[in-house]
Amino acid sequence: ADVHEALLAARLGPRVPAGQRPKALVELAAKISEAFGGRPVNPDSPPSVVRALAREGIEVPAARKYLLRGIDHPAVGPLLEYKELSRLFTANGWAWLEEWVTDGRFRPHYVVGGVVSGRWASRGGGALQIPKVLRTCVRADPGWKLVVADAAQLEPRVLTALSGDRRLADVAAATDLYARLGEALFSGARWVPAADDDRDDRARAKIAMLSAMYGGTSGEAGPLLGLLRQRFPDAVSYVEHAAQAGERGERVRSRLGRTSPAPSAAWRALTGGSAADEAAELKARRASRGWGRFTRNFVVQASAADMTAVMLATLRTRLPAPAHLVFFQHDEVIVHTPAALAPQVAQAIEDSVTEAARMLFGPACPVRFPMQTAAVDTYADAK
């Protein structure tokens, strides 16, 4: 908590009463107004920012950061900085510190299986979205270490195991699956990228895989997915069959049997009868494809949640005392351990992942599930 308070003071200035802006935000707001010719602009109000830019002859639909970054105007720099510091102040400032940190420990309310796919959620506190700027505040006690372990590209590997795609299993043997997938996809392929596309093969391979798991087909995603289907038909067929089941209104299941929810009665009414006209038919097709995209991803994401749940349960039985789990989000765990036990903890994590894969996919599963593990003094050092 002391490190967190020092960070807030350094970035925002002294603490202020509720309802007031910290010193850093006051100064940035003044710079923003000055950049707009001295006219008052409320940087907390997107419409105010949009109107101020319009007066300068710059039309933007919203005041989002990605839109502002492409604008050449003296107000953009302080606006972007204001947004960053305002987010820190409102989401993880002094009020957050008082509510969620007790005796130097962040104590969020986890909701096990809080997402329909079985992923964990949290109720308040933002436990699953700790920003990078705060990770330096997450520190091991003296003489202890944080062993931070992050599963490398977990969901593509889970899809590989689910589908039994042997060619993709060979790709998954690499620690960086996307880099190896890029080599496998584009080596000898007749692929001509768009003139304005400066992405490398790894980035394109990632787009192809995410398109398979999430159903993206717009822009370059469609052709890349087609190439992935040619090279790895078993993996792509697995998620496409799940998508087709969803389009028919059927339910799909994870590896351990978690079942997707049924579509609503309104969905069935929309997609189940004869369309009155072309517009109604188009609406029905869109609804059908939308639910298919949900079931396409469900089988992978829910099975990945199955695997992490088994891994966590196994890890708890393997950790040497007094090491203990202190944090978990989706495919990442943090263990707080005496420094001398850090190598044992890292091995326990690796063994737990191996055991979870064996329990879910059988002892002959050919897919590798590497964990990127680091023993560090602060969470920030692991990234």
Query: What would the pLDDT profile of 78-104 be if each residue is shown by its tens digit?
Result: 999 999 999 999 999 999 999 999 998
Could you tell me which residue, 186 or 246, shows the higher pLDDT? Answer: 246
CATH of segment(s) 2-107:
1.20.1060
The predicted structure's pLDDT at residue 90? 93
pLDDT at 322 over 80: yes
Banded model confidence at residue 108, pLDDT cuts 50, 70, 90:
confident
Q: Token pair of 134, please?
A: 């705060």
pTM, entire model? 0.87
pLDDT at 75 over 70: yes
The predicted structure's pLDDT at residue 191? 63
Per-residue model confidence as pLDDT tens digits over 174-203: 999 999 999 999 876 666 566 566 678 899
Give the start-to-end residue ranges of the domains of the chain. Answer: 2-107, 163-299
pLDDT at 359 over 80: yes
| Average confidence score pLDDT of the chain | 92
